[in-house]
Each structure stands twice: as C-alpha cells, then as structure tokens.
Structure 1
C-alpha cells in the first residue's frame, strides 16, 4: 500500500455505511484522517455503526444533518447508492467540498494498476471472464468493485505484481478525481438508472468518467457496434481498442470465418465456446481484448472459454423439471438485458418479469416477444408489462404478487420443451434488497416444484 499523506490530520466525512463505508472508514483512519461516519439508519439498529463507535470513530446516525459540514471537511467519501440530490451533498457542492466514492481511495493507495470495466449490461460476465483468463495466464489478478471485495480493501494488500480487475457502476464513477485505469472497458450503453441520474445524458457523462484521466499510454476497449459508446470515447486520449461481433476491426477483437481474432491473430474457434448467446459473444470479445493486451497466451484463453458456463443470476441454468428448463437471469435489471436474454433461446419462453417502477414503459420489449408464449408479471411494474404484452398481441399474460407465485403459475401454464425464464427487466428493490436475493428466491421456488 502506498502511504498517502494527503489525509493526515484532515477531517473526512464517510457518508453511508455498508461494506464500502466500513472499509473506507478503516482505511482513512490508517492514513491519519479524523473520520466521522454518518448513516441514516438509527444507531440502535445499526451494527456497523455500533462496531465503529466501539473502535473510536465519531458516529452520527438517524439523519444526515448539515452541521456535519461545519468541521472544515477535507472531503466526503460517500456510499455510491446515495444520490447527489441528498440535501447534505447539495450543500457540500455549494461549499466546494470534494465528494468521492471509495474507488478513488483505492486508486490513491494502490501499488497495482487497475482494469476498469463498466457499461449498462455484461459487466459481471466480462469481468469474470477477464479475471479467469488472467488467472489462467498467471498474471496475478485481484478482483474488486461490484463483484468481489471492496476495492480499497483489495488495494491495501495489492503489490506492483498484481493487477486489480474492477467492475464499476455509474454511481462509483461519478465520485472519482484522479482514478485512472491502465485498461478501461465499456461493454455497451443503454438508458438506465434514470431515477438516480435524471437523464440519459447525465448517465452517459458518469460512465464516460472512466476515460477521464487516461493518457495515450493507457487503453480504452470499446464496443464498436454501440453508437453511444463510440460517441463517448471520441474525446479519450487513450489508445482505442475496438471489439465487434459484426465487423472486422483489425486493430481490436472481432469474429471472422467462425473464429475470434485479436489484431489479425486467430485466438479460438467460436464453436468451441460453451457460453451461449450473441450478447455473451460481445462479452467474450471484450475479455479477450483485455487478456491479449496483457500478453495472455491463446491456450490460457481457450481453457477458459471451453469451460466457462456463466455467472450466477445471469442466464444461470437452474434445473429441468418434466422437460421444462428453468433459467435465472435476475441480474437483468433493465430492458436491454431482458431483450438479450429472450434472444438467447430458440424454444418457446415463458417469461417472468417485474420489479421496481423507475418510470419507463416496456414497449421496447415488444419486438422480442416473438418466441414468448406466456408472461407472468409481478411487482410494481406488473401492469405496465401486461400493457406491452397486450400491444404485442400476447394472449397468455397473468399478474401475481411475487416471484414464488410467478414460478408456480409459469410451471402450471408450461408444456414439454418450454423455457421458464426469470428476466425481470427491472431493479429488485420493490420487494428485495438485491438482485441476488431475488434470484435465490426464484431458485428456491423452482426446487420446491420438485
């Protein structure tokens, strides 16, 4: 760990607990900061706050009082999920107090370079693929961010022999100042998280921060088939490495004559790859680009691609019951992800969808309903999804209260050979804390059918 002196004896406010807030507090204390931790959950119900209090931290719970800004703050380190519309953050910006997320702290102390992976969809699969390829190629990678351990905890232990692979959200990227990945990657851009960012333009602006500090000695891997991504990267100073599943881009990763190539070198035949779906081919191309930029040999890449079957909650095969196959795609928290999930199957699909209402409709799903024979909806968006299904002429549509009931209903209306797919097209927060919890509930409900 680099010994960063900029926080020594400086007042720092950590806003929001959870894993990232706890890790940031611990790190800042080691760096000599005078740390105040603030969380909205009352102290009596807040185990992390109680633990930090016992460790000597100044802890304020129950609200976000503006009086916290009176301590000549050097900066605020906030939980990525707390929106900038929070009154305390609005006032902090008026006072020109810097607001970071813990990924910035991780970068400042890290001896290891970073790979930063972002996008609307495919981040987790691409991150996992890249990590596996680097491990197979003996590059000593460490994983952090939205998957794996909190980034600043990983950065504390990393050496210059490691490389830190991070999956980054738009929320995290809004809170960077100096963060500069050696390799950045944007999988795709789709309208998402408008409840947080307000507009698509603000969402794209946050994502584009991944390029902000890169120089010509760094690399930006970008989806050549995505107009939004290519527009984002126009102002980047990094060396651009495109990937495409539809065009030959000889300076990057692409498909030609049934094989994946990187910079005109054949890497692997597509038919050897076990991970299904066109969208996953894009994720694979992106991961291959990372691996080849770091000199991973073809054999190591092939070993991963001939054995990797996917990540949890992303088109995860669950089981087969009476010749009906069940797939858990709970990580599909937006429309684009569900479009890609549906498109991955040739057999008839019974779609289970619904969740948090972020204000959008679901008509963009209509062109993808051709092989959806039935849809079971639940949650805040269930009526909106039914409206879109009816516009598509789908006759078999039913609304239920929750995921468990949806599984029972889907099975009751299924036939031999059907695919029963949970791909919600919505965030999970109306009924669940996380998409993982939602996916696990789906899996439990499926196994109860047995």
Structure 2
C-alpha cells in the first residue's frame, strides 16, 4: 500500500486515531484528523501528541470533509455506522480501521488475540512468552499502544502480538494474522453492533484472511467459538479447561499439556501458576497454545506462568487495610467479566459495581452476587437497573452511592475481616470517566489514601 502523496481523513482523536494520523503524515501522506468534539475538549496530553504536519478538523463532521480524500481511517471509537462511512462508501473511498494501516506497515508476522474477556491478560502473557525467542517483539493493539505506531521499523523476523477488539475488526480488508486466537464469546457491545450476531461476525473477521499455513487457536469449552473451526482456513488448535483433548491444549493430571501433531508436551503444573481464578487458567491455556505454535520452548512458557502476576486493573491487589484486602477489577466492563472476578473469591465480598449500562443480561451475574456478596454498592447510570435486578435475585444489603469516591468510602466503613472489597463494575466507565484505566487508577488512589489514614 502506497502512503506517499495520498490523502487520509482519520476519524476519532483517541490514542489510535492520533497515532494513525501522525504515522500517515510521517510516511508522506496528507492526513487530516477529525473529531466530533472541539479541539479544546481534548486533553493537553492528547493535543501534545498530534504532529505538526497533521491537519485538524474538529467539531464539524459534514460530508465536505471527504472532498479530496483517498482513504477514510477509523479510530476504534468510531463505528462503521457513522454517517461519514456511508458517504465515503458512496463516493468509492475505501474505509480502513487503524489496524488495517498497521498491517500494511508491518513487515513482521502478526499474532492476534480477540474474545469478549481475557484479551489483555492473554495478550500480555503471549507477549512475555514470545520475547523469550530473542526476536524483536511489540505488544499493542487494543492494549493501550496504537499498533500503527509500534510496527514502524520492526524487522521482518520480528513479531507483533496484538490484542484486537471487535471495534477494530469492523473495517479491515487485508489484515491477516499468522496466529489468531478467539478466547470466548458472550453478548457485549450490543449498543455498538446492534445485535449479538453482528458482534460474532466482527470477532470472526480476525481469521477471515488466514490461509492454510496459518493457525487458529479456539476455546473448545465455548460452543460458539468451537464451531468457528468450520469457518477458518487456518489449522485449528483447541484449548480446554474442562475436557481432555487428544489434539489441543488441556490439563492432564494437573499439568498444562500441549497435544499437537503426534506429540505431547508438558508445560507447567497449574499449582505453579501465579495467576488466580479459573478464567486465568483458560487464559494460560490459550497463551501456551499460541506460544507453542510460535516456537517458544516449554521451559520458557513455564517460567513466564510462574512469574506473571497479572495485568493492571484485572483483579489487581491494591492494599490491605485493617485486615481487609482491596482489589481493582476496573477492566470488568461487562457482567461476564465481573462473574469471573467474583468466582475468584469464596465469598464475603463487598462489591462496587455500575457505570455506563450496556443493557446485557444480568441473571448469571446477580445469581452469583446473591451467593458471594455481603454488600452491593451501586454507582452510575446503571445503578437503578442493577438495583432492580439485584432485588429480583434476593441480593442482600443493596446500597447506592452518588459519587465514585463516596462508594469507596462506604465500602471502607462497611468492611471487616474476612471480607474483601472488590471494584468489578460489570459496566463501561464512560458515564464518569474517560476509560476503565482512569476509573481503576482513581480507585487505587482512593484506597491508598484510606490506608494512609
């Protein structure tokens, strides 16, 4: 793909949008960065990241922006249902996602991971494992570092490990992963994709361009994901936490084991893993499958599993105050992810939940809340619906808090050993915060302030 002297309209001034605009400009393209909000609404940090050569069009997003453009590039926060997408397609202007640009820039093969839950942990685990190969490796995508920037200058014998969201897959064309992994699929982002069927189709695009020499790693325990094997051209390697597999990655006599092409290779006893929770065992199985296909030695995979303590904002220990442990699980932006966090504890939980409601089903989540949560503290736009559903499931001790800091203060007043305080919102953060990271960092700051008193 030739970027020189081409004109690109980049929609969305988030991390990925700014990165794409900067990269395209640096490669000799004419890039225009546009966002529906005004330039003054951007954070100072974001404004400082925009290169001098990038043209700016903020506030207005009418069809005239497409005049003279060769390509329309979408930041992940911009849906393919945006009016300018229809207008661009009507004019014959190709519409690309930021990861499509990254794919065309990368000389190195790409390992891509998607799924509803567990993407960040699994991507980070795989990144640590493949680094042991001694190849120059970048880890990015939906994990906080824009892929288009990170792949620049990476040699052909390097590796790209990328967390990929359904948003990023909406506008791919040629994007091809040498190894693609789908971890699980539960209803999420229905407000964006409109129905679960479209959400699934977007996820499956991660292996849409694979060839017979590529690999697709799939969760055997998730029937929807298991059935994706019929729709990929790649060689399928299953992983399973619940079943023995003659071909695949599973647990044999308490040991993570890879069975592949006539060989059985023991990796690591699950008792040696540093991560907690059944969901993290699934993440580890997927990571081992990908790493094995990438050529990582079993001993190196085992060492990473023993040392890896997890990622920020995912059941992250924060502090212990007066015998009560506090955990930050801000990354739990849907009920299914919050369920996995609740399952990591035997009970006596004081749970802080709520935020921007995705209107997903709450039955499984509230059933587990009724069994394991001593006090439920609800915040944000979702508080009313969550409280109503909690009542239907006989959840005891339901509280609401007007502010996030008030919720943390209330949890502190209620908590006593052997209870734990867990922030696991089961919601997006956008009603109160810019992102889940900001929410998690404030939680940690508030907890540390409590511990200092």
Pair in the same fold by TM > 0.5: yes
Work out the CA distance in 2 between the residues paired with 1:270 and 1:53: 45
Report the Cα distance in structure 2 between the residues aligned to 1:393 and 1:80, rounded to whole angstroms.
39
Give the match for residue 166 of structure 1: 162
1:145 to 141, 145, 151: 141
Match of 2:403 in 1: 402
Partners of 1:39 and 1:64 within 8 A in 2: yes
In the alignment, the residues of structure 2 paired with residue 320 and residue 36 of structure 1 have an alpha-carbon distance, to the nearest angstrom, of 49
Do 2:133 and 2:296's aligned partners in 1 also have CA atoms closer than 8 Å? yes
* Aligned mates of 1:317, 1:63 — CA distance in 2: 44
Query: Which stretches of structure 1, 4 residues or more, deviate above 3 A after TM superposition?
Result: 43-54
Q: Deviations over 1:175-213 (max 9, x none)?
A: 211010110011111100111111111111111110110
Task: Tell me if the contact between 1:204 and 1:232 (Cα under 8 Å) persists in the aligned partners.
Answer: no
Confirm whether residue 64 of structure 1 aligns to residue 61 of structure 2: yes
CA positional deviation for 1:366:
2.5
CA distance in 2, matches of 1:423, 1:43: 33
Aligned mates of 2:273, 2:47 — CA distance in 1: 49
Cα displacement (A) at 1:287: 0.5
**Aligned residue in 2 for 1:215:** 211
Residue 440 of structure 1 corresponds to 441
**Match runs of 1:69-80 below 5 Å:** 69-71=66-68, 73-80=69-76
Aligned to 1:366: 366
- Counterpart of 1:194? 190
Q: Deviation of residue 414 (structure 1)? A: 2.3
How well do the aligned residues superpose, as a CA RMSD in angstroms? Answer: 1.9
Instruction: Give the distance between the partners of 1:155 and 1:426, measured in 2 at CA.
Output: 32
Which residue of structure 2 aligns with residue 120 of structure 1? Answer: 116
CA distance in 2, matches of 1:421, 1:386: 17
C-alpha displacement of 1:84:
2.3
Q: Which moved more, 1:11-20 or 1:252-261?
A: 11-20
Shift of 1:353: 0.3
- SS of the residue 2:307 aligns to: coil
User: 2:33, 2:185 → 1: CA distance?
Assistant: 34
Compute the displacement of 1:308 (Å): 1.2
151-160 or 213-222: which moved more?
151-160
Q: How many equivalent residue pairs?
A: 445
Corresponding residue of 1:354: 354
Q: How far off its partner does 1:44 sit?
A: 4.7
2:429 is equivalent to residue 428 of structure 1: yes
* Alpha-carbon distance, 1:361 to partner: 4.8
Change in 2 beyond 3 A, CA 1:43/1:336: closer
Displacement after TM superposition at 1:85 (Å): 2.5
Label 1:54 to 1:387 Cα distance change in 2 as closer, same or farther (>3 A): closer
Take 1:48 and 1:437, find their aligned partners in 2: how far apart are those partners?
14
> Equivalent residues in 2 for 1:286-365 (5 A)?
286-365=286-365
Partner SS state of residue 306, structure 1: helix
Which residue matches 2:378? Answer: 377
Out of 122, 131, 135, the position equivalent to 1:135 is 131
Change (3 A) 1:203 1:53: closer
Return closer, same or farther for 1:52/1:418 CA change in 2, 3 Å cut-off: closer
Change in Cα spacing, 1:221 to 1:35, as seen in structure 2 (3 Å) is same
Gaps of 5+ in 1: none
C-alpha contact 2:123 2:161 (8 A) present in aligned 1: yes
- The separation in 1 between residues aligned to 2:330 and 2:168, in whole angstroms, is 22
CA shift in 2, pair 1:44/1:378, >3 Å: closer
> Contact 1:134–1:140 (CA<8 Å) still a contact in 2?
no
* Range 237-246 or range 101-110, more displaced: 101-110
Cα distance in 2, alignment partners of residues 48 and 389 from structure 1 = 40
TM-score normalised per structure 2: 0.94
* 1:148 Cα deviation after fit: 4.8
Q: Higher mean Cα deviation, 199-208 or 148-157? A: 148-157
